[in-house]
């Protein structure tokens, strides 16, 4: 299936502009990289995804209950803490996420992906925030959630927060659609239409999120 075009703000794939600096996006591009759709459906209290309308309902709930209020907020907060070298606040936020029930289905895969990316940042000896967060993960004082590592990586490579948030949302949405399309036998046009429908409100949501202060 070809990559789908979107609105101009979302047309550039996160994997393209992050490039070799962030292999984590390869995992985000596949729903299997983070969590199975069936497992997440239970948390979102939706019917099994067996039709295009069911997929739309699933993704709308994922956006409203997980992506916007939890994942993008986590990326934003991690970015702010890392940009200000607030390692204690970053570690405290990492620990706080472990108590979030909506993220329980992501927990194992999130730590696996995030910690793998952190290991790739280990050679950056001069990046104090990276080394101190790595040390906390090594000690077991932090989990290394993939969203926090994503926000940290944006800072390390001086990548824009807004584009990072949009890229994450785009990549995960496309991954879920692509995964479901195989079994639902939906057309490329239907996939593209659903992708654009779901992504159309994201720029405004990201602007609101970036404008809000981080609660420490």
Distance (Å, whole) CA 94 – CA 148: 7
Q: What is the pLDDT of residue 53?
A: 92
Distance (Å, whole) CA 202 – CA 6: 12
User: Which token pair is 3?
Assistant: 């990559």
More confident residue, 127 or 109: 127
Domain layout of the chain by residue ranges: 26-211
Helix, strand, coil abundance in the chain, percent, nearest 5: 75, 0, 25
pLDDT tens track for 148-202: 999 999 999 888 999 889 988 988 888 888 888 878 888 999 999 999 999 999 9
Considering the four listed CATH numbers 1.10.4190.10, 1.10.760.10, 3.20.20.370, 3.40.50.2000, the one that applies to the domain covering 26-211 is 1.10.4190.10
Is the per-residue pLDDT at 2 higher than 60?
A: no
Q: Would the CA dihedral through 55, 56, 57, 62 be positive or negative?
A: positive
The pTM for the full model equals 0.85
Q: How many CB atoms are located within 10 Å of the residue 46 CB? A: 18
Cβ atoms of residues 167 and 147 within 8 Å = no
132-to-4, 86, 89, 128, 213 alpha-carbon distances in Å: 39, 10, 12, 6, 24
Distance (Å, whole) CA 79 – CA 73: 10
User: Which token pair is 207?
Assistant: 């602007």
Distance (Å, whole) CA 48 – CA 92: 35
Q: Is 139 helix (H, G, I), strand (E, B) or coil?
A: helix
Q: What is the pLDDT of residue 31?
A: 45
Q: What is the CA radius of gyration of the chain?
A: 17
DSSP E strand stretches across the chain: none
pLDDT tens track for 22-52: 556 555 544 455 556 666 766 676 677 889 9
């Amino acid at each position: 299936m070809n990559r789908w075009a979107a609105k101009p703000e979302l047309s550039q794939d996160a994997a393209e502009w992050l490039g070799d600096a962030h292999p984590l996006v390869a995992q985000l591009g596949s729903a299997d990289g983070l969590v199975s759709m069936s497992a997440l459906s239970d948390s979102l209290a939706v019917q099994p995804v067996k039709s295009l309308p069911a997929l739309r309902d699933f993704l709308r709930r994922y956006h409203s209950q997980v992506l916007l209020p939890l994942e993008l907020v986590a990326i934003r907060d991690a970015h702010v803490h890392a940009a200000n070298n607030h390692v204690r606040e970053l570690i405290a936020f990492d620990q706080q996420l472990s108590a979030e029930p909506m993220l329980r289905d992501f927990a194992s895969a999130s730590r696996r992906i995030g910690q793998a990316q952190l290991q790739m940042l280990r050679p950056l000896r001069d990046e104090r925030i990276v080394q101190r967060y790595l040390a906390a993960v090594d000690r077991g004082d932090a989990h290394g959630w993939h969203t926090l590592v994503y926000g940290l990586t944006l800072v390390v490579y001086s990548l824009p927060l807004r584009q990072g948030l949009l890229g994450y949302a785009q990549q995960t949405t496309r991954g879920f659609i692509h995964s479901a399309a195989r079994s639902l036998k939906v057309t490329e046009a239907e996939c593209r239409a659903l992708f654009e429908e779901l992504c159309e409100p994201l720029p405004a949501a990201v602007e609101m999120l970036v404008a809000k202060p981080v609660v420490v």
